[in-house]
Amino acid sequence: MSFKDLLDNGPKVVNLGMERFYLDLQDQEVPAVKVNWRPPLAKSSLMDKLRKLRGEEVE
């Protein structure tokens, strides 16, 4: 989905974080999913190394 798609088709949202934002989207009948997010178990340096091993290099 490009930025243009977002503007043309309206938002279809994955909400990560405050639930109130998700509920407000529901009120406006915006298609939305709420993610019941929790932090990674590893600190970010370990996460970076794991991601790298998985082949997800971030420049």
Partner 1 sequence: MNSIEMANSITFERLLKAEPHIVDLGMAKDVIPDFKEKMILHAGPPITWDRMSGPMIGAVTGAILYEGWAETPEKAREFASKGNISFEPCHHHNAVGPMAGIISPNLPVWIIEEKNSGKRSYATLNEGLGKVLRMGAFSEEVIERLNWMREVLYPVLRSGVRKFVNDNGGLNLKSLISQSLHMGDELHNRNRAATSLLIRTLVPSMIDAEGSNPDLSRVVKFVAGNDHFFLNPGMAAAKVSLDSVGYVEGSSMLTIMARNGTDFGIQIAGMKNKWFTCQAALPDVLLFPGFTREDVNRDIGDSAIMETYGLGGFALAAAPAIVQFVGGTPQDAVNYTKEMYEICIGENKHFTIPALNFRGTPTGIDLIRVVETGITPILDTGAAHREAGKGQVGAGIVRMPSEAFVKAAEAFVEEYSK
Partner 2 sequence: MKRIEVVKGEYYDSVTLMLVAKELKKIEGVHDASLNMATEANITIMRAAGFEVDTGLLSPDDLLIGIDYEREGIEDIFERARSYLASPPWKKEEKDTEYSPATLQGALSVLPESNLALISLPGRYAAAEAMKALKNGLNVMLYSDNVTIEDEIELKRFAENNDLIVMGPDCGTAVINGKGLAFSNVCPTGPVGIVAASGTGLQEVMVQLCRRDVGVKHGIGTGGRDVKKSVGGISFLRGIRELAKDPDISLIVAVGKPPAPEVREKILACLKETQKKSVICFMGDDPRKDEDELFYTTELEECAVVAEALIKGRDVSMARDKLKAEYVKLAGKRPVGVVHGKYVRGLFTGGTLCYEAQYIAQAHINPIYGNAPLREDLKLENSLKPVGHSFIDYGEDEFTQGRLHPMIDPSFRAEQVKQQSEDRSVAVILFDVVLGYGSADNPSFDVVEAIKSVNRETKPIYIAYVCGTDGDPQDLGRQRALLEEAGVIVCESNARAALLAASLVSRKER
**Interface residues toward partner 1, by CB under 8 A:** 38-42, 46-47, 49-50, 52-55
The one of partner 1, partner 2, none whose footprint includes residue 26, by CB under 5 to 8 A per kind, is: none
3-state helix, strand, coil in the chain (%, to 5): 45, 15, 40
Report how far residue 24's alpha carbon sits from residue 32's, in angstroms, rounded to the nearest whole number.
Answer: 10
Q: Kind and range of the H or E element at 53?
A: helix 44-53
For residue 37, give the amino acid letter. Answer: W
Q: Which is nearer to partner 2, 53 or 58 (CB)?
A: 58
Least distance (Å) between residue 46 CB and partner 1: 6
**Minimum CB distance to partner 1, residue 4 (Å):** 31
